[in-house]
Structure 1
Amino acid sequence: MQFTCAIYINKPINEVVTSFEDPGALKQTQKGFISLKHLSGNKGEAGAKSKLVYKKFDLIETIIHNKLPNEFYAKYEHKSMTNTMLCKFKATNDNETKLTAYIEYTEFKGFIINLIVKFFPGMFKKQVDKWLVNFKKYCEN
């Protein structure tokens, strides 16, 4: 399953990328986020692994490549699913940035998650859209 979400943020690209790189932003933009723990590799570089801890689940993030301020690409693994996310940043003018997230779910494990994917596939995109709106609010305030 693949989908794309995009949002325009009324801030210069350097400020948007600084917020994107700040783990503290996750607490403000993703409900239930608790912490990020670096596990291995050089922080912020390809191959680096981190554990993202949420109230109800954990994710392992593996950076595929980090070409910020233009793009960031990573894989996220959960016990029930695996996905990749490519975030691209583009300055539309001096005070506006377009953030586009390309999401691809590559694996679903288990009966329940496969039912959710089959009957409610739009909920995955809605969640990413919600995170982008929260991130926009965070950046602009």
Structure 2
Amino acid sequence: MKYSSQIIIELPREKTISIFDNAENMKHWQRGLIHYKQLSGDFGAEGAKMQLDYKMGKRELTMIETIIKNDLPDLLITSYDTKGVYNIQTNRFEITSNGHTKWTSESEFRFNNLMMKIMGFLMPGAFKKQSLKYMKDFKAFAEDNKSVLD
């Protein structure tokens, strides 16, 4: 399953990236994030791996993030691996004509078990909705310092 989401952050790209590329900020815009731990490499370096632990309702989820390509401020490509799902995220950050930041996120999901394949087929909108929610939460945090923890 592939899809793309876009949002305008009403901040200069440099400021947007400085907020986005700071691990301490993730808890303020990634709803459900309870813990992260660098597993290998330096934060943000290509090939680096980080463990991300989330609580979503009653369910706990652990993902391994791998930095595939880091060419910030323009481009960041990451993969996320968890039970039954492999996701590649391509994030592009462009400067708009009025000096704001256009964030485009391209998502590709590959499902590794039957249950997740069925979920992806029956509920593709849930994946898109979650991606856009993270983007909107980031926008609120970056522009207005509104944290999902509040």
Shared fold (TM-score, shorter chain, > 0.5):
yes
Out of 70, 73, 87, the residue aligned to residue 69 of structure 1 is 73
Q: Which runs of 5+ in 1 are unaligned?
A: none
Cα displacement (A) at 1:22:
1.5
Tell me how far 1:94 sits from its aligned partner.
5.5
- State the identity as a percent: 34
Match of 1:60 among 64, 68, 75: 64
- For 2:105, the equivalent position in structure 1 comes to 101
SS at match of 2:96: strand
TM (normalized to structure 2)?
0.88
For the pair 1:137 / 2:143, whether they are aligned, the reply is no
Q: Distance in 1 between matches of 2:5 and 2:136?
A: 10
The aligned counterpart of 2:121 is 118
The one-letter amino acid paired with 2:133 is K
- Scaled by the length of structure 1, the TM-score of the pair is 0.93
**Aligned residues, how many?**
140
What is the RMSD computed on CA atoms of the aligned residues? 1.3
Shift, 1:138, TM fit? 0.7
Q: Distance in 2 between matches of 1:78 and 1:123?
A: 17
**Which residue is equivalent to 1:6?**
6
Question: Which stretches of structure 1, 4 residues or more, deviate above 6 A after TM superposition?
Answer: none
Q: Distance in 1 between matches of 2:98 and 2:21?
A: 20
